[in-house]
Amino acid sequence: MAESHPPPARQSDPTLTGAALIRAELRTLPAGPGVYRMENAKGEVLYVGKAKSLRKRVASYARPQGLGARMARVVAACARLEIVTTHTEVEALLLESNLIKRLKPRYNVLLRDDKSFPYIRLTTSHAWPQITKHRGARDGGDEYFGPFASAGAVNATLAQIGRAFPLRSCSDTVFENRTRPCLQYQIKRCTAPCVGRIGRDDYMALVDEVHAFLRGESRAIQARLARKMQAASDALDFEAAAIYRDRIQALTRIQGRQDINLEKVGDADVIALARRGNACCIQAFFFRAGQNFGNRAYFPSVPAGTSDADVLEGFLGQFYAVHAPPKTVLLSDTVPNARLIADALMLRAGFRVHLQVPARGNRRAAVDHARTNAETALARHLSENASQLRLLEGVAEAFALPDAPRRIEVYDNSHIGGKGALGAMIVTGPEGFSRSAYRRFNIRGAIAPGDDYAMLREVLTRRFTRAMAEDAAAGNEGGTRADWPDLVLIDGGRGQLRVAEDVFAELGITDVALAGIAKGKDRNAGRERFFLPGREAFSLEPGHPVLYFLQRLRDEAHRFAIGGQRAKRSRGIVRSELDNIPGIGSARKKALLTHFGAARAVGEAGVEDIEKVAGISRTVAKRIYDHFHSGD
């Protein structure tokens, strides 16, 4: 396995930079495989690479004149070189992918969207298997089918499966406590095993059919159902024949939804690249058991001078660092180190993974289809980004900023009568809203109900104090610099703006622009007033595109704040007085409520009565009693 840290004896000479540093480091570099990391003087990671021989690979950077423009910039800024040795080149490739995802070096190809994919789960560990959508960690006792490109694709497939194979979808708790069939049974989406409307043998036959369907054997199932329908019809059991007919029709609809099939391939991912300059789109289609499970578009960050092959190779390493690979990966272009990548994927998957660039047949058709989708998605993405960039340039002009802001943070507060107060931050930039960067802040300080100024002060202080601490840690330990905004937009007028100015003055922040947005005198949308430090308030013309853009930002922050406040209030509604007692967790709370029926009844009980509840000792019973009678 790879070493977790570089050898402590190696230290970069602080007086050397660039090619001189590289040449000085060559003497101590090992000849074996590993990963190298180049950092600048601030400790920011510039580039992460792998090598079969660290000494030979790093030696190639000692001659800047032979490098491309991208790597020449990396070498020129390099002030520190770190290495991690590995036993094999495959381990080096895996470690490189993990470090790129974690450190996000500026000059590597970066895959920004690494959300997990949804699967269909069949809970075969239960006596009466349940079929549901699943995302996240897997339970080894169940079976999973996928991945699907989106939750919508899973839901559509589950809806079709429910018509053809009416298995239960309810939770185990609901299943065990049913006394009569639910609505799913009435609409023929379940066979009601919870109340014995189907025998176990017949139910497990349905489970076997679901297995066969998800393995791509839907036509064989359809033929078998047709024979059963005919037999039921011959026996004059027309009700059973109608059920088989409906299941056959459901299967026919599922088969008709597959516009491209890879029936003879089995499980495969189809990955195609489209590119315009430094803008790239990679489309990934997922085929399982020959069926199209959907697709997803990725727009990786690509440094200038990166070849198509390097973009695709970087994508494969990072994508399959978090997603399980299938047995076949069909590519639009040849990648370097294809055999090495295949070995690394085999190490992850536990079986041989084949990388192919098909030249003809249905595999080539699938790749061409994926490339066409990539080109269409890229064109749309560039058009949207161009519009977004024009709006950001308009903001810079309206607010007299030196450049179009790359990151705008918008802040709003929410509360109901001073209760449940929280602050919200949304983020936008050239690529639109960055929802993964949204944050909510529960107000912690002793603040008078409805004091919006104090709430805003707490939110801004916490957000930027943390950003400064992350920057300090990055400078000391070589970590990643915190994301700082170019513009902070406050939902409020002159008073809120002064609060923000005070916070920035206290923290010594001078390079972040501030602005406030407030509705007009009559609180009419379209009459917003804008407040900037040192300037008179002003308005934009009604119908101005930048005005609409800023209104949308303000409304998104308000929506996010209100949503958080409502969720917080909902959580408060389901809480009870038992939650305020130390040592009473969810299990004891459930036992007490089950035994007494309500928290009020617990408060009226004596110590001996409370002690009779399962899991409640004499000491805990006394603590509960004292909590409810502390004011007596």
Q: At which of 103, 129, 162 does a domain end?
A: 103
Residues 554 and 603 in one domain: no
Residues 422 and 516 in one domain: yes
User: Is the entire prediction scored with pTM above 0.95?
Assistant: no
- 263 within domain boundaries: no
CA distance 125 to 142: 6
- Pairing outcome for strands 487-491 and 408-416: parallel
- 474 within domain boundaries: yes
CA distance 309 to 273: 9
Helix 89-103 and helix 338-349: axis angle, to 10°? 80
Q: Phi and psi (nearest 5°) for 171?
A: -70, 165
- 71 within domain boundaries: yes
CA distance 344 to 338: 10
CATH number for 416:
3.30.420.340
Q: At which of 554, 572, 590 does a domain end?
A: 572
Residues 566 and 438 in one domain: yes
CATH number for 83:
3.40.1440.10
pLDDT, residue 456, reads 92
Residues 419 and 558 in one domain: yes
Residues 416 and 563 in one domain: yes
Query: What digits encode the pLDDT tens for the residues 496-535?
Result: 999 999 999 999 998 899 999 998 665 555 678 999 998 9
- 195 within domain boundaries: yes
Residues 556 and 617 in one domain: no
Residues 424 and 558 in one domain: yes
CA distance 313 to 321: 12
Name the residue range of residue 610's domain: 577-628
CATH number for 622:
1.10.150.20
The neighbouring-strand residues paired with 212 are none
Residues 453 and 508 in one domain: yes
CA distance 556 to 409: 11
Residues 370 and 414 in one domain: no
Residues 554 and 592 in one domain: no
CA distance 342 to 590: 51
Residues 277 and 306 in one domain: yes
pLDDT, residue 496, reads 93
Q: At which of 572, 593, 615 does a domain end?
A: 572
- Which stretches of the chain score pLDDT less than 50? 1-11, 256-259, 476-480, 573-574
- 213 within domain boundaries: yes
- 403 within domain boundaries: no
- 4 within domain boundaries: no
Provide the token pair at 401: 């900023």
pLDDT, residue 504, reads 94
Residues 79 and 135 in one domain: no
Domain count, the chain: 5
* Exposed e or buried b per residue across 514-528, where buried means at least 16 C-beta atoms within 10 angstroms of its C-beta: bbbbbbeeeeeeeeb
- 549 within domain boundaries: yes
Query: What digits encode the pLDDT tens for the residues 182-213?
Result: 888 888 888 888 988 888 888 888 888 877 77
